[in-house]
Structure 1
Amino acid sequence: MTVKEIAFAKINLALHVRVKRDDGYHELETLFAFVDNGDVLTAQPAEADRFEVYGEFADVLDNPFGNLVARALSALPRPQGLHVTLEKNLPVAAGLGGGSADAGALFRIVEQVHGLPKGWEDAAVRLGADVPACVRSEMAIGRGTGTELEPVKNDMAGMAVLLVNPRVPVPTGPVFAAWDGEDRGPLPKGTARNIALEGRNDLRAPAISLCPQIEDVLERLSQTDPWMFEMSGSGATCFALYDSTEHRDRASRVLAELEPQWWQMSGLLR
């Protein structure tokens, strides 16, 4: 039995940083959304757990055995091992929750093959703040460090999205360290569409201060007449939303001609 799952790329349609906590983390309010494209995990039953990585960004993973998929395998007790292969299509340190998305896909694989063990929610939280949202990969509001999830009316499902990254890794820690500490207010209320349009990403400015290429990506995206564009998470990936796949694909072709060195991925919002 072979099981395949897409590790859906995570984007933040809005990301409000409210305050730095005593434990060093930050209180966040964010609107998680997921693209129907990303890394791909394939798993087969095995006598013992095995984990292999290939794909465009496989070499960027410094320690595959410290990867969140390997850690998730260790965190989920099962009566049988799994041989897991990860096709790494998403850039690393890119604001797309790639490792968390991979772990979320692994949780869904284990759910299909064996069922999830009691306490899996706590295991997801221990793996990372984005992992609980990535397990279901459904649009949601995240509070706290991002692990406290609330439903939201998803009136954006099926919207065409283009992801663009300048191929510059941007680790999360330094971006949060560069945040100016100013609380600019809570998420707007209403549907996902309203939150996305009226919200903001408080990490955009600190990320640009560390990676000026982000501003170039945003400028290029603004010229493609999108419905909305913004940086995702702590960067450096930016996204643009379009009213049709034809509009998105046209923008993608233009960007590929102007900036052929940039990474792109197209999809639809889930």
Structure 2
Amino acid sequence: MATDPVVEFAPAKINLTLHVTGRRADGYHLLDSLVVFAGVGDQVSLRRSDMLDLTITGPRAAALQADDDNLVQRAARVMGGGVEITLDKVLPVSSGIGGGSADAAATLRAIARLTGQALPDAGEVLRLGADVPACLAGRPLRMTGVGEGLQPLAALPDVWLVLVNPGVSVSTPEVFRVMDARANPAMPDPLPPFPTFAALVGFLRTQRNDLEAPALRLAPVIGEVLASLATTPGCQLARMSGSGATCFGLFSTATEAAEAARLLRRAQPGWWIAEAPVQK
């Protein structure tokens, strides 16, 4: 049990790979994804209150409504409410980096710390959203099924990300709707070890994001983002995360990532661009 207020970081979730391997009878898609979390994200602050209340601040606040359907409020209700929450919104909304799910997971962790309550069971967490269990774990992992299969990775080398969003929201259901194939190969099992940055990048080059092609059809600017990232000095891989439109570039050093981000900001001042390490 913690003293008010409690502050919890909600890091961006990055799908280094995203294989769509099938579809259940109920319409949910089966996934196989290598997931990591970036050192950039939103922040949830909360204190005890007689009622549940949510205030949204930050550079992306205007894109969200503090209504009953907000994932932060839904997560708080699972924990019994009774908190006053401030969400500092930094990450773009509907952008393929799990912002809402990360915020919900941070809310669960923060209320557990504040009140001493146990976290909800796995089923309740999954009902909040397919990405919420992975975001609650908050560490590099392999995510399978509809989000319920979580296999932590043994180790990752140092990796730096440059994240780029062109200011376009992409509808996840619409991306799935325009997919050509929904039963694609999974990643190898077991996954190989990744002792070095080169080993990780070499593996990722043999894998995919199956949502990238359909997202490109809906938002062609994603192709411009990928091309811009791929041509920055030091970028070893450029790929879309999730259902888009945020894309990432992989870099071996903080210096390379910072310089790439600087060049991209100068060329595209209207894009959201952030450099950050992969959290271990």
**TM bin (shorter chain):** over 0.9
* Cα shift at 1:227: 2.2
* Cα shift at 1:62: 4.2
1:30–1:146 contact (8 Å) kept in structure 2: no
- 1:171 aligned residue: 171
- 1:198 aligned residue: 206
1:76–1:120 contact (8 Å) kept in structure 2: no
- 1:106 aligned residue: 107
* Cα shift at 1:264: 1.0
Secondary structure of 2:85's counterpart equals strand
Matched residue count: 267
Instruction: Output the amino acid matched with 1:171.
Output: S
Instruction: Output the amino acid matched with 2:87.
Output: L
2:54–2:66 contact (8 Å) kept in structure 1: no
CA RMSD, 1 decimal: 1.6
1:107–1:116 contact (8 Å) kept in structure 2: no
* Cα shift at 1:118: 6.4
CA spacing shift, 1:73–1:182, aligned 2, 3 Å: closer
* Cα shift at 1:252: 0.6
**What are the equivalent positions in structure 2 for 1:67-106 lying under 5 Å apart?**
67-77=70-80, 81-106=82-107
85-94 or 64-73: bigger deviation: 64-73
CA spacing shift, 1:118–1:109, aligned 2, 3 Å: closer
After TM superposition, the runs of 4+ consecutive aligned structure 1 residues lying more than 4 A away are none
* Cα shift at 1:195: 4.6
Q: 2 CA distance for matches of 1:191 and 1:145?
A: 24
2:112–2:119 contact (8 Å) kept in structure 1: no
Q: 2:261 aligns with which of 248, 252, 267?
A: 252
202-211 or 187-196: bigger deviation: 187-196
Q: 1:216 aligns with which of 216, 224, 231?
A: 224
Secondary structure of 1:169's counterpart equals coil
Q: TM-score, normalised by structure 2?
A: 0.91
Structure 1 residues without counterparts, runs of 5 or longer: none
Secondary structure of 2:87's counterpart equals strand
69-78 or 129-138: bigger deviation: 69-78
Q: 2 CA distance for matches of 1:209 and 1:116?
A: 45
* Cα shift at 1:42: 0.8
CA spacing shift, 1:250–1:27, aligned 2, 3 Å: same
**What are the equivalent positions in structure 2 for 1:34-53 lying under 5 Å apart?**
34-53=37-56
218-227 or 109-118: bigger deviation: 109-118
* Cα shift at 1:63: 5.2
Q: 1:236 aligns with which of 245, 252, 267?
A: 245
CA spacing shift, 1:70–1:104, aligned 2, 3 Å: same
CA spacing shift, 1:164–1:178, aligned 2, 3 Å: same
Identity among equivalent pairs (%): 38
* Cα shift at 1:197: 3.6
Structure 2 residues without counterparts, runs of 5 or longer: 195-199
Q: 1 CA distance for matches of 2:92 and 2:48?
A: 28
CA spacing shift, 1:110–1:182, aligned 2, 3 Å: closer
